Amino acid sequence: MRVLLVEDDDGVADALVEALRANGHRPSRVRRGADALIAHRDADVVLLDLGLPDQDGLEVLRKLRKIDPVPVLVLTARGDERTVVRGLRLGADDYLVKPVRLAELLARIDAVARRSAARSQEPDELVRVSDVEIDLQSRQVVVGGREISLTTKEFEVLAVLARRPGTAVSRQQLMDEVWGNAFVAVSRTLDVHLTQLRAKLDRPGLLHTIRGFGYRLGE
């Protein structure tokens, strides 16, 4: 698995990366929370330390959970009950206190990855909503039997929503999946693309705005 290690201690990080690689995983390592909020998109599992130099790891976890369901295993020296409970409530899939035995860490990684795989389902390649057809593989959109032309970013915005038809998707998740980082993307840019997308689709009510949260495709 691709394992993203978010750890600022070089000694700890080097040992974990070596151990993960020796056990068949493909580890990568970042030191800062801000880097984790970009690199998570290429990971199957995230190992997250809480004592990071730029921001608290719990804040990184909170932001990450707004945009990505990737399994997160907190790996930290903080073992007090309050922090453990808060980490789990913020969406951590598991919580381990350092020092941790390697065999246990590897088993926990496998366990959270299995649970995540069981929850996920591959989206249909062709999504139909009313008289709109969205082919996610060929990147074609047909409205009322007529193919329409979308820019790359317009299609990517529509594709994020089409993979979850009828489900509300947050603005942060949209910006993260389309632009790569929800926390540096310009929110106004998303608004412009959505306005253009609505005009090209010409189907009032197809793209719903969820006030204060995000958007939904279809009912």
Domain holding 62: CATH number?
Answer: 3.40.50.2300
Instruction: Convert 129-168 to b/e letters by CB count within 10 Å (16 or more is b).
Output: beebbbbbeeeebebeeeeeebeebbbbbbbbbbbebeee
Lookup: tokens for 65: 């959970």
* pLDDT tens digits, one per residue of 116-146: 776 565 556 899 999 999 999 899 999 999 9
Q: How does DSSP assign 168-213, residue by residue?
A: -EEHHHHHHHHHS-TTTS-HHHHHHHHHHHHHHHT-TTSEEEETTT
Verify that 212 and 114 share a domain, yes or no. Answer: no
Please tell me the total count of domains within the chain.
2
Contacts of 5 (CB under 8 A, 6+ apart): 13, 16, 17, 20, 27, 28, 29, 30, 47
Verify that 6 and 114 share a domain, yes or no. Answer: yes
Verify that 49 and 110 share a domain, yes or no. Answer: yes
Verify that 140 and 177 share a domain, yes or no. Answer: yes
pLDDT band at 206 (very low <50, low <70, confident <90, very high): very high
Mean pLDDT (whole number) for 149-168 = 92
Verify that 51 and 107 share a domain, yes or no. Answer: yes
Tell me what pLDDT residue 182 has: 67
- Among 94, 118, 142, give the residue marking a domain's end: 118
Tell me what pLDDT residue 48 has: 97
Verify that 36 and 84 share a domain, yes or no. Answer: yes
Verify that 111 and 183 share a domain, yes or no. Answer: no
Mean pLDDT (whole number) for 13-38 = 96
- Is the pLDDT assigned to residue 9 strictly greater than 70? yes
- Among 118, 136, 156, give the residue marking a domain's end: 118
pLDDT band at 202 (very low <50, low <70, confident <90, very high): very high
Mean pLDDT (whole number) for 93-121 = 84
DSSP 3-state assignment of 12? helix
* pLDDT tens digits, one per residue of 55-70: 999 999 999 988 888 9
Task: Average the pLDDT over each of 11-15, 115-119, 165-169, 203-207 and give the range with the smallest value.
Answer: 115-119
Verify that 132 and 59 share a domain, yes or no. Answer: no
- Mean pLDDT rounded to a whole number for the chain: 90
Q: Which domain holds residue 208?
A: 126-217
Residue type, 113: A
Mean pLDDT (whole number) for 2-6 = 97
* pLDDT tens digits, one per residue of 12-25: 999 999 999 999 99
Verify that 13 and 106 share a domain, yes or no. Answer: yes
Verify that 70 and 168 share a domain, yes or no. Answer: no
186 or 98: which leads in pLDDT: 98
Verify that 105 and 138 share a domain, yes or no. Answer: no
